[in-house]
Amino acid sequence: MHESVKRKLLKDQRALLLGASDITQAIAAARALQVENDGTLARALETAMVISFMRPFTGTVRLPDGYSAPPGAAEAQLFDEMKALRDKVYAHTDRDTGRQAGPISVHVEGETVNLTWHEAWVPLSRDRLDFFIEVCEGLKESMQLDAGKAQVILNGEVPVQRWGIT
């Protein structure tokens, strides 16, 4: 096996395994969010869910080309929603996100300043969490399978061409 093919297989395998880990974390956050009633914890879970889901698609450790387009229209819409949420709400704070904060009262006592404030956000729709988890489970399974295929090739157990890797 040519060294450049080996390097590509190792790079893709690493991205796939890290991606599977990220997707597993997104699934865990989504499952916890399904039953969570504490607003602060729900926001943390939403952030973890969206950021973990998008990490394999947006970082410097990128998935192989076959993972760039979701398989169907509903999955593509979900992906676009998660990307927009990541970019506008969870990884950054843009003005049009629905996330708001402002002071309610200030009480000064000597050198101590006590500030109370209100905060608002637009929560994720929990109605779509089952679909999100289903899509993630499929992604995770594919990533693990492809990482395993890469290892089989790296071990010399099958020829590189069997799975169309050049």
Share of the chain above pLDDT 70, in %: 86
d(CA 88, CA 130): 23
Spell out the SS3 assignment of the chain: CCHHHHHHHHHHHHHHHHHHHHHHHHHHHHHHHHHCCCHHHHHHHHHHHHHHHHHHHHCCCCCCHHHCCCCCHHHHHHHHHHHHHHHHHHCCCCHHHCCEEEEEEEEEECCEEEEEEEEECCCCCHHHHHHHHHHHHHHHHHHHHHHHHHHHHHCCCCCHHHHCCC
pTM: predicted TM-score of the whole model, two decimal places: 0.81
Average pLDDT, the chain: 86
pLDDT for 11 beyond 50? yes
pLDDT per position as a tens digit, 110-163: 888 888 776 766 778 899 999 999 999 999 999 999 999 999 988 887 665 555
Predicted local distance difference test score (pLDDT) of residue 2 = 84
Predicted local distance difference test score (pLDDT) of residue 68 = 75
Of 44-53, 86-95, 106-115, the poorest mean pLDDT is in: 86-95
Of 51-65, 84-98, 139-153, the poorest mean pLDDT is in: 84-98
